[in-house]
Amino acid sequence: MPASPATVFRLYLLRHAKAAWALPGQKDFDRALDDAGFAQAEIVADIAADRGLVPDLVLCSTAFRCRQTAEALRRAMKEDLDIRCLDALYAGGANIYRDIIGGQDGTLSSLMVVGHNPAIEEVLRETLGEEATAEAMPGGYPPGALAVIDFDKRPSDGALPPGKLILWLDPDSHNR
C-alpha cells in the first residue's frame, strides 16, 4: 500500500508487542516479549511486509521488548531495514515523540516509531482527533498494534499536523 500521490509523509506507530511481567529483580527496561508477544510481532510484521508497508527509517525504543518487536520487522521486510534505537523513546512522553518525529530528515517519506503507551496513543489522538481514534481503537492502543497515518503536510518543530488513518492493524483480531 504505497502512499497516495497527495501524501507528503507517512507515519507508522507501532506499540511493542505483549511483554512478560518483570521477573523478581528484573528492570522494566529488560522485560522480554512473551509467547503471545512474539506471535503478535510476527503477524504485524508479515502483514505490513505483504502490503508493501516498509518505512524508510524505524526509530525504536531501546527497551528490550521494543527491540524484539523491531527485529520481527527486519525478518519480514528486509535485512537492511534501517532500525535506530533511541533511549528517549523509552521514558519519553508524547512531547518527546513529537519532537523526534518532527526532527527527522526532510527527505524521508516515511517513518516508523516502535514505542510505548501512553505516548504512542497520545500521538495518534493528536494526529487523528478523538473521534477517529476512538473509532479505530475503542479499547485503547493494544500491544503489537500498528497505525499507518498519511499526512499532506510534513511534521516539523515538534508539531504534528492532522493526519488520516490509512490502516489500523490489531494483531489479536487480525484486522487488516
- Mean pLDDT calculated for residue range 41-53: 95
Characterize 97-114 residue by residue with b for buried, 16 or more Cβ atoms within 10 angstroms of its Cβ, and e for exposed: bbebbeebeeeeebbbbb
Q: pTM for the complete prediction?
A: 0.93
Give domain 28-130+150-169's CATH number out of 3.30.470.20, 3.40.50.1240, 3.30.70.3340, 3.40.50.1980: 3.40.50.1240
How large is the greatest C-alpha to C-alpha distance in the chain, in angstroms?
A: 51
What local confidence, expressed as pLDDT, does residue 78 receive?
85
- Mean pLDDT calculated for residue range 134-144: 93
- Mean pLDDT calculated for residue range 138-156: 94
Q: What is the mean pLDDT of the chain?
A: 92
- Mean pLDDT calculated for residue range 116-138: 94
The answer to whether 101 touches 155, Cβ cutoff 8 Å, is yes
d(CA 41, CA 17): 6
Residue ranges per structural domain of the chain: 28-130+150-169
d(CA 91, CA 74): 24
Instruction: Give Cα 71 to chain centroid, integer Å.
Output: 13
- Mean pLDDT calculated for residue range 42-52: 95
| Amino acid in the structure at residue 116 | H
- Mean pLDDT calculated for residue range 153-167: 90
Q: How far is CA 7 from CA 65, 75, 107, 110, 154, in A?
A: 31, 27, 13, 10, 9
Band of residue 4 on the pLDDT scale cut at 50, 70, 90: low
d(CA 166, CA 15): 17
